[in-house]
Every structure is written in C-alpha cells, then in structure tokens.
Amino acid sequence: MTTTDPVPARVVFAVSMDGSVRKVVTVRSALVLVNTLEEQVEVRLEKPAVRYEAHSLKIDSGSSLAVPLSYVSADIWVRPIGFWSVGFCNKPIHWRHLLRPGESSDGIRSCTPDGGDVGIYRFCVSVKRENYPASMGKHVQPGHRITFLPPVVLVNLLPYDIEYYLKATEITGKVKAGKQAALFAADVSQDLELGVRIESFARCKELLIAAGSTHYVVRMHLYDSADRRMLLHVRIASRRGGALKVSILAPYWLVNKAGLPLVFKQENVHKEAAGQFEEHEFARSVAPLLFSFASSEAPSMCTMRIGRRQHSDGYLPNWCQPFPLEAGVGVRQLHVKSTNYGQPNWVYNIGIDVRAGRGRYRDTNIVTFAPRYQLDNRSRHKLQFAQRCTLYVQSSVSQLSALPNSSLPFHWPRLDMDPLLCVRSCNIAGCLWSGGFRIDRLESLHVNMRDEQRKSHFLRVEIVIQGPTFFVVFTDASSMPPPFRIDNYSEVAIQFWQTKVDDRLRSWVSQQTSVPYAFDEPTLPPYLTCAVSGGTSATYSMNSFGEGELLCYENLFYIAVSETFTAETGRPSTDHTLAMQLVLDVPQGIAVILACKQSGKRSQLWRMTGGGMLVHEGSSEPRDPRKLTDQSKAGLVLDIDAIAPQPDRYVQLILKKHDERRQRTQTWHFTEDGRLCCPQLPSLYVQVRSGCLRRGADVLLGPAPPAPPHTCRLNSRGIPVEQGISRQKLRPGSGALSVKILADGPTRVLQITDRNQKRAASQPTCDWILVDEHKLLEQDSPTTDGSAPYQPRQDLQVHVLLKHGVAVSLINQFCEELCFISLGDIMCEYTANVKAETLNCSIRDIQVDNQLLGTQVPVMLHMTAAPRTDVHRSLPALSVIVRRVPSQERVNADIYEYLIVDLRPMSLKLDERLLWKLFQFFGMYQSDAELIRMEESDYDAQRALTAATSIANKRYYFGMMRLDIRQLKLSVFTSGKLAPDLRAIKHLTGVPLIRFEDADIELDPFERGHQFETSQFLLDAVVKHYTEELKSQAANILGSVDFLGNPLGLFNDITEGISGLISEGKVGGLFKNVAHGVSNSTAKFTGSLSDTLGKVSMDDQHQALRENIRSHSGTSGEHLTAGLMGLGVGVFGGLTSVITQPIQGASRDGFEGLFTGLGKGIVGMVTKPAVGLLDMASGAAHAVSRTSRSTSKYSYQRVRPPRSCVGPGSLLQCYSAGQAEDQQFLYSLNNNVYSERLIAYEQIHSQRKTHCIISSEKIYFLRGNRQNKDIVLVVHLSELQRCQHLAVRAHNGETTNYIVLTKKPDPQALGSRSPQDLQQSPQVVCESEMMAMKVAHKVNYAWNLYQESIQTLVIDEEGEE
C-alpha cells in the first residue's frame, strides 16, 4: 500500500480474541513503539521530505502504539512528559538500516532539561526487525519494533528497604522490598560505582559496573556497626537497547518461626553472623535475617543457639551441631545447660526447612526455622497440654494453654523422658489428664478425657507434617463417629477397661445399653478387658474381628413359694401372708425352713448341677463358673432327714453331703405345673406343713392328697398353694455371654449378647454418631424371631468386557501428539445390593507410547518382561478391588471395607522433552508473575493443613487399604537441546535430571488399616510413603547412571548369565550376557563422555547435528552407521571450525564476535574430532549391545505410528493409519525435518507406480515402492507459480492427463530474455482426469497455505532477565 508519501508501507491485520467468542481484527502499520519507561512519553514524527509537517503521539507507561501509516517514514523524536521538564532527545531514532528478520540495534538517547533542578534524562532504545517478509523493490518497508527502556533498573530482592547511590554522582534513592527503581540519570556508556545501605548495615564497598557489561553475578561487601561482613549477590543482566538490570539479593534468608530467640553464625567462626545484636538475645526477629558465608576459610556450614536472655542467669546456651544450607528438611537439638547442680538442662527441637525461593527469588535459599511441633486448637474448649512426665509439676513452662482457634509452638520439657503428650479441657469441671500419645508420626486418633465422675469426653487429634513441623490439630469429636463402641445386649451390667490401665479408669455399661469409647492410653496395645460382676473376665483385641472368649457368671436362684409373690400369680393378694415373699433358707444348721427373701443372702441361694442336684450356695466355696464342678467336691446338697422316703409320710428337708447312694433323694426336678419333686419319687412333692405359709415354717417332702378338701386353697394352676414351688434367678440371663468384635463403618464394636437370647443383636444403632451412653432400642435389633426386617430386593450386577481395550491420545495446543495410552483387555465387574457395592476391575496390558517425533524412547511405560518361571506372569497389569458399604445419611463419609490396588512390575522411561511437554500440557508450572508472593509457602501450608483436617470435609473409612507396586524399572533420558519454552519450564520447576537406565526400584506396599481420614490426608500419606521409598532407592539409581557406565546393569547381566548356566547349563547365554553388559556399560560411559566434551566445543549447530544422527538409531546396523557418521562429522567439524566459527561470530556480534569465534574454532579443532571418536566407540558398543541382547529382554515398539494431526483448515483430524505411515515416509525422504508437515499422499498412476507426496513446503513425485525411494521430481512451493490440469488428446483419440507445475523464473538468470523464455513447466502423467484434477487441487491448496504462512508474522517473544 502507498500513502500520500511515495514510500510503500505494510498493513498488518492483527487478529485477537475478545473473550471466548468474538474475534477482533486490528488494522495497523508494521512500525510499533513500545514504552517500558515509568513515565508517559511524547513522540514527535517529522517527515524529512515535507518541512514543518509533524505529528505528535503520547504513549502511556507500559503500553504500545503503532505509528500511523502516513508517518511510517518520518523521523522519530521522543521525550518524557510529566515530572520531567526536558526537551526531545538529542538525535532521532532510525530503523531503516535493519533489513533482515531478527536484526536489532541498541542505542542511548539523552534529553536535556529546559530549566529548573531537573537533570539530564537518559533512556535506551532497542530497534528490532521482526519476522516480516523481505521488502519489495528498492524501498525499505517498515517491519520493526522500537522499545524505550530505562538505562538502569535496580531491583531490590531483599526483605528490607535499601538506599542506593552512584559514587561521584548525585544519583541517590530508596527502593522498597520487592520493588524496583529506574535510574534515568545513569549513563551506561560510562563506568558506574554502585553503593547500597540497608538496615543495620550502614557501610558498604562500592561495586564497579563497567561500561558494556553483559551477564554476570558479583558479590557486594556490607558491614554492620560491629564491623562484621555480609556478602550480597548482585546480578547484572544486559537488556535490549544496552540497558542494564541490576538485581540485589542475599544468598540466604533465615526466617525464625520457632517462637524462640535464635542466634546464628558460620561454623568455626568466632563471631556471630552480621546483623545480629543484643535484641536478638531477648526475642526472635520477625523479619528475615540476611545471611552469607563471609569467611572462605571456614566450612560452609551454619550453626545456631538459643538467645542468652531466654533463660535466667543459671543457664548457658550451647551451639548446636552444624548443618548445611542446602535444599531439604532437617532437625537440630539446641541445648541449654544448667550451671546449678540438680536442675535439668533444657533441650529444644528446631526443624529446618531449606528451599529455593520462587519466581524472582529463585537464587535465594529461604531457610525457615520452625518448632518441630505446633499445637493447633480448633475445638470449642480451652485446652491444656503437658508432657506426661511433668503432669504433676506446677510450672507455667511445663504446662501450656491454648484458647479455641489458636495455635502455639511446643517443645518437650524433658527429652530424656518419654515424648508423650497429654491434654485436658479447662471447660470441663475436674477434667483429668488424658493418656499420653505420640505426635511424631502421621496419624489421627480420639483422645479420651475423663471428668470427676470418670465420664469420658473425646477430642479428635490429627497429626500432619508440613515441611519440618508436625502440626497437631485438636478438633471436637461430637460430629465424628467414635473409634470404638460397647454394645451390651445382655441382661447384666458389664465392666470394661483398656488392658493394663489404672483401676480408676474402669467403666460400666448397663444392660441393653451402648457406650462410645476411646482408649485411655493410646500407646498401649489395642486390647479391652471385660468382666461380669461375680463372674469371669476376658481380654479382646479390637483389631481382630470375630467371636471372642465367653463371659460367664454364676446364675444362682432362690427356691420360692410361688403364692407369696403376687407377681407370680398376677392377682392381688387378699392375705398378708401371701405377700411375704417366702423362700427356702438354711439360716443355721442343716434344716431347711421358710424365710423372707433377702437380696444376695447366700444362705437362700441355690444352684442346680448338670445331674439335677440342688447345691446350697451358702455352704459351698466360691468357684469359677466357666468350669464344671466336681460333684464329689460339691458342697451340701438338698436331701431329706430320713434314711429312705416313705410314700405316706412327710419328711423334713435338710442339707447333706453328696452321696451316690442317696441319688434318689438328692436329685430334684421342677415340674411343669410348678412343683418340686424327686424324679425317682414322682408321688412326693416339696411342701409346707399343714399349708402354714409363714416365716420359720418347716419345709417337707411328702405325698400329695388324693383329693384336696374344699378348705384347701389352690393356685391358678390348680395345685395347693403350699406345694407351689418355683425358681427365681438372682440375676437375669443364662450366665453365658457371647462376645463378638465387628465393624460398624469406621467404628469397631464390641458386642455382648446372652448366649441363649433368642434375638441376636447384630444390627448397628440407628445413629452411630454416639456422644454419650444410650439405651439400645427395640428397632435397633432384628425382629423377635431372629430374622432381619423386610427390605425390597435391590440387586444389580454389571459385567463389562473390553477385549481390545481402550486407547487415549494426548494432543497439545500446538497440534502435537504427546502420548498414546493403550489399555488392553479390560474386565470390570460391578455388584450392588442393599448390603454393599463391590467393584472388581482388571487391565491385562498397559502401554504408554511416546509419540513425539524424533524421540529417543518410543515407549514411555510398559510392563516389565517376566521370566517364564515367574508365577505372577499371567496376572493382569493392574487390578483394583474395592468394596463399599452404605453409610448413614447424616454422616459426610464413604465407608469402604477394603481397597486393594495391585500393579505388576512396570518399566518407566522418561524422555526429558516429553516430560516438560507434559508439564506444559497439564499446566504443572507457574510463571514468575504468579510466584512473586513471598509468603506463599505459608499460605500453601495452611491450605493443605485445612484440607487435611477440616471437620466439614468428606471423610473416607478404609477397613483395609493396600497399594502394591512391586517393582519399577526407571530410566531417564536427558535431551541435549530443548526448545525455549521447554527450557523456561525446566528453569521454573527447578527439577534437575540426570541420565540413567534400568534402575531397579523396589517399593514396599502402602498398607493401612482402619483409616478414617479426608482425601487430602490420605493423599499426603501415600505421597510421603512413596517419597521415602524412592529416597531409599538412591543407591540403585546412582549405580545405573550413564556417566559411571551403569555398573548395576553390568552386574545384573553377569548374574543372569551365571543363573542360566547353573540352572539350564547355557554356556552361550553366559557369554552373551557378559558381552551385553560390558558393551552396554562401554556405550553409556563413552556416550556421556562425548556429550560432556561436546559442550566444551560451544557449537550449538554441531551438537544439534550429533543429536539428529543419534536420534534415528535403533538397530545394530543403525547404531554402527551413526557412530561412523559421528566420526565423520567430528573430523570435518574440527577441520572447518577455525573458519566457520569466526565468520559466524563476526556476522552476529561484529568485530568482538570475530575473536570470540576464533577462540571457539581453536577449541573445536581439538574437541570435535575427539567427540567424533567417542561417538564411533559409543555407536560400535551400542551395536554389540543390541546384537548380544538376551531374548528375555524384549524390545517394545509403539502400538501405532504417531498421527498426522493437522488436517484441512489446520483442524485436528481423526486418526488414519495410512496418513501416519505416509507421514513417516515423508520424514524418511527429508532427513527427518519435522517442521515439514504432510498435506496429502496420492498414487497418481498405478501402472507406472508413480506417487505424489504434498507437504507444507515441497511436492515430491516418486516411482516404485517406498523401499526404493526413487524420487523423480521435487518442487519447492516457493518456486511454484501455479498448478493446473492438462488433457492432451493423441492422434489415436486417447487422452493423456497431466499435472502441469509452472515454476517462477529465476530473477538472476533473466538478463535480456523475457520471463516466459525461462519459465519451467514440468508435467507429470496421471492415470485419470479425476486424479489429475484432485492432485492439482491439493497442490494449489498447499501453495495457498504456504503463501499464508510466509505472510504470517511469527512474534518472537524475548524474555528479559
């Protein structure tokens, strides 16, 4: 486009998204001005050809503006406006001298003041030619970005405000913590001497910044009032325009969160670290302490002690053991010794967490000193805490208090005693201390506190770890199910207590009552002891479900005269003698008489043996009710006072010793009509003389009257009242109690039932959130006939079988396939009914392919090949079994009986390039702008703590949880060169990678039982477990690294060969394994050495060429070929290095680059041939290794080739195996140039076997099959002018169809000839008119895409340090 000015200009159509729906098209010029200064600037545009015609623009700070099209050729003058009263810059800004894309030039401009006290204003200018197409004609078209920058930017990366000054100038100022300041008066063309003052450091040694400085880090010396030195790091970075960015930072921040005054120093240095004064001996410093290793002669270790004023004069603090300030977590003990005899020493445990800063602070290590333990009271009670050994020591130091919703650090008063914490509530009258529990491991528990009446009150305690600190969180347990419950369905009261606890902690559970419980002493074994009054006791493990030992008690009874108990007859008594409650008694001697019933009187109690004898309890010794009584050793039994009974006489009842000869009169039976008799004397009954029912009356055995007289009183059963004899039990129940341990969700229940009870109480209560003792209701138990209540049948069974499995493809935003996840032979079985839901799922095969083009490792994850003798060979790769039971609606929890995840041995091969692309895909990184907050680590810790311990969060109970990963073969393959975006992600994550292969990682399974936690708590526990397991395998990883030659791999190969020789007698297998191990170790060692030496040559192009050669070597022949090619490249590169490197350096950096390139060339003369020799040795060793590979080491291949992602319209298309193969064939033609994309592949003539491949850059015509790769014609799209179909009719009437590709004429060969004379139009025969038209259409489509791509501006975002 041309404006009123006869100079052509570019028009740019910038397309952006406004929200998620609307697109905005901005039409502008190609000349953009960017203002990064702190002030608004005024830009004056003056046309050199038209005098006095000018145009002014204003650009705000931090914004950009395109120059109007009519002024793109004008001279550019700039000045700041606002505070600065200065004129325009001393010379205009030019851009026409930059012609090639990517070229840039820097300069500095000065604005002189118009008057007043304002000094000279300087700013830097960066002019860069962007990636526009080359200018047409003799005129230079604009396509530049002009950026205005401050000459010096001072960034304060310290936690304090700093005062700065430039020596020998008037430039001074102040920069707040975390902020930056622009020094507009600084002249970067001259040397600068920078000085800095901060709090407590009033003197410094100025730092000289030479003119033309680039990137480097230097130390600055500061001195405090005690003349102690501290070293700050100053990072100087060169920016666009010649500007400088000066960042001031400290190597270490010491953050004291221990709640104690801490004093630090460098190991073996007599003075404390700089910046510490007398106030640090009294209290902790809230602000971080800047620290550096000021002495180079002393070890780079730090040590600390407690402030001297923390304790009285009788104590002396000692320095702790030194510790490094490297990333990690540690603990140190700080000892304070007592100088007074008899007083104990103080010991404090301090956690140390060292981490690299985030974002801009990544070069500073932040060292946090925190208490090892922190108590967090989130309950509604005011709580007191104490170590168990100090419970009865009245000291404000040994006993701490915490109000609701508060926290406090905790230190053990006595480390020489058991580290057990006790707690009690100040809101409960007479609350006793709880039992001691450990707080140095991840767990959760209920704490039992008892009041004066020994009633239990529960607190929930959850222990989580964040960094070096264990957070002990106390919450109310009212909304949580208790860990244990005692359900007493029997008819007698039961006493229970935790085994081995004090007798005062024993509790009672009444009959038909349920009581929640938590262990009084959490550190004791999980055993409960139960006892029945007057009976037996037994101990039960609460971790063992099922039936336990029986509880038994003496079931003694009274022998009562039925008529004297109105409850027996159910009728009101009309005679006062009938309500006297008369029973058989032997008050003294041996005679049996009637007496009024007295509760518990032993002379009135009887028991019946298995043989039918009535043993008198009052004359017998106490016995174990669980054991049968030896009748020979029984006490006195009921008998008659006669040698033998007389059928017509009444005989007195007395007590006699057991005698086998008197079995007829010592065996008794209670009849169904309510009388007592001897079975062998059926006509004689126990009765009262003359029907006289009174106290002291004799009890006789005599005949029943043949016909009762009318005066005789009869009971409701029709027998005389004086013969109505019955049993009345002293206590209800059968005397035998069944005890069972079962689970009711997260609560383990000890259930007690009477053995003869008809209804077996097996159902849980209607509300299992129990906070107090309550009666068991009838609806809590099954129906009276023992059957469960009716519920409708709700059974569901689902079987899913996917024989060919499921596959998932991951494709990023750049239309690049990352991974192909293949899950084969999937079987799932789901069963649901009213009792539970069960899921059993298995996956036979798992494979994750690395689909990146040109990757070193085509398969990322696969099952490890198992030997034939392995019993687990036929098992699926992954199996998951889980059983879920219904939970109460009022409870925010899921109840799982078990969860078992079993994973077969797997091999994981991490390619560094794929790893960072996956980070990019899932957004698992953060930019510097997102990491500026200095206290973010604290925020993350509190957020994680809340997620793990919040009562409102959903909880999950697992009766058994097992995650079993048996074995993992881990390999990491590093990449020599990463794309800029991937390098940025690697830099932000800070994860160092080292190359190693086939490290055997043995991981112990993660097993937990009876877990009732939040998902975050469980996840943290799993992560911590496997993190510790991986740390324990560091030796295996170190033994597999490439730079050591993988010694563990060599050892395993030799071991496998020897095992095969011993077990199967394979001598060849031994030699084969030894050859593979030695060659593999040699290849890895020489490969690592060549990579290290290759970096010394400082030639990125040479390194990229080596990477390209090695990335396409898979078979033995390819490895050998790659080695020979590497040797050739190394020798050729060494011979030409002295010539090519200086030329490249001069074209890039001018005269200075010439000498730099010459130095690189001289180094390359030596290193590149050496690298070539090592590459050849590595390739040969790899070839031997592949040839001698054992048959047991199966080489896994991709399930399918990488997809061709981009289809018509640059849209993602469905996978096509043919297109994937065509794409692979294209890359075999163009030497694996992956920037060239496949557009179409067509067979244009079947008889001639000609094919056409259309890519985003070229058109290939081939003859024959793919193996021959006989290329007939190649036309680059930049040479193509048009493509069309041509039909030629022959004399015989046959029509031949051609594709005509018209090329552009070469401008250099034109001379005096016309373009038509030099125009080339190759023709290719097609099989049909339809095929010719189809191919011509696709070629024109590819040409349009190519033209669109070269007209598209690719913005090169430059990061600034």
Please state the rounded mean pLDDT for residues 669-676.
90
* 821: its two tokens: 């996840």
Element of type H or E holding 745: none
DSSP class of 1239: E
Q: Indicate whether 779 pLDDT > 60.
A: no
**What does the alpha-carbon distance between residue 1339 and residue 1253 come to, in Å, rounded to a whole number?**
10
Q: Which of 956, 991, 953 is nearest to 974 (CA)?
A: 991
Alpha-carbon gap, residue 900 to 878, rounded angstroms: 10
pLDDT(847) > 90: yes
Mean pLDDT of the chain: 82
Q: Which has more pLDDT, 1169 or 52?
A: 1169
Residues across the chain? 1361
- CA dist., res. 1138 & res. 1164, Å (int): 8
Strand intervals (E) in 390-481: 399-402, 406-410, 421-425, 443-450, 456-466, 469-476
- What contacts 932, CB < 8 A, 6 or more positions away? 178, 359, 360
DSSP 8-state symbol, 930: G
Output the pTM of the full model.
0.73
CB count in 10 Å sphere of residue 886? 12
For the chain, give percent helix, strand, coil, nearest 5: 20, 35, 40
pLDDT digit string, tens, across residues 1158-1175: 777 777 777 877 877 777
The H or E element that residue 29 is part of is: strand 22-29
d(CA 606, CA 619): 10
Please tell me the predicted confidence (pLDDT) of residue 931: 47
Confidence class for position 213, pLDDT limits 50, 70, 90: confident
Instruction: Give me the pLDDT at residue 981, please.
Output: 84
Q: Counting beta carbons within 10 angstroms of the beta carbon of residue 801, is it exposed (0 to 12), middle (13 to 18) or buried (19 or more)?
A: exposed
Distance CA 250, CA 291 (A): 7
pLDDT at 992 over 50: yes
Give residue 761's pLDDT.
42
Higher pLDDT, residue 796 or 792: 796
pLDDT of 1319 higher than 80: no
Cβ(367)–Cβ(348) below 8 Å: no
Report the pLDDT value the prediction gives residue 1307, as an integer from 0 to 100. 62
pLDDT at 830: 93
Which range among 2-6, 551-555, 945-949, 1256-1260 shows the weakest confidence by mean pLDDT? 2-6
| Structure confidence by residue, pLDDT tens digits, 197-209 | 998 898 999 999 9
pLDDT band at 575 (very low <50, low <70, confident <90, very high): low
Task: Please write the tens of the pLDDT for every residue from 55-76.
Answer: 899 999 999 999 998 888 888 9
Among 66-80, 694-708, 1189-1203, 1347-1361, the minimum mean pLDDT is found in 1347-1361
Q: What is the pLDDT of residue 1276?
A: 92
Which residue has better confidence, 868 or 509?
509
Which residue has better confidence, 973 or 1359? Answer: 973
579-583, 854-858, 886-890, 1332-1336: which is most confident: 1332-1336
> Per-residue pLDDT for 77 more than 90?
yes
pLDDT of residue 571: 44
Q: Is the pLDDT of residue 255 over 70?
A: yes
The pLDDT tens digits of the residues spanning 305-335 come to 999 888 877 889 999 999 999 888 889 999 9
Which strands form 399-402's sheet, in the order they lie side by side? Answer: 399-402, 383-387, 421-425
Q: Which range (404-413, 631-640, 704-713, 954-963) has the least confidence?
A: 704-713
Q: If we measure between CA atoms, which residue out of 801, 795, 800, 865 comes closest to residue 834?
A: 795
Q: Is the pLDDT reported for residue 299 higher than 70? A: yes
Does residue 415 surpass a pLDDT of 60?
Answer: yes
For the segment 451-467, the average pLDDT, to the nearest whole number, is 89
- Tell me the per-residue pLDDT of 127-167, one tens digit each, with 9 for 90 and over: 999 888 877 667 788 889 999 999 999 999 999 999 999 99
pLDDT tier, 784 (very low <50, low <70, confident <90, very high otherwise) = very low
Higher pLDDT residue, 1177 or 895?
895
User: Which residues are CB-contacts of 46 (< 8 A; sequence separation ≥ 6)?
Assistant: 53, 54, 74, 75, 77, 92
> How is the beta sheet containing 537-541 ordered, strand by strand?
507-509, 494-498, 527-532, 537-541
> Looking at the predicted structure, is the pLDDT value of residue 495 above 90?
yes
SS (H, E, C) 138-156: CCCCCCEEEEEECCEEEEE
pLDDT score of 146: 94
1190: pLDDT strictly greater than 70: no
Higher-scoring residue by pLDDT: 1054, 812: 812
Lowest mean pLDDT among 85-94, 340-349, 613-622, 921-930: 921-930
Amino acid making up residue 940: D
pLDDT at position 436, please?
Answer: 93
Q: How confident is the model at residue 486 (pLDDT cuts 50, 70, 90)?
A: very high
Q: Is the pLDDT confidence value at 1257 over 60?
A: yes
> What is the model's pLDDT at position 570?
39
What is the per-residue pLDDT for 391? 84
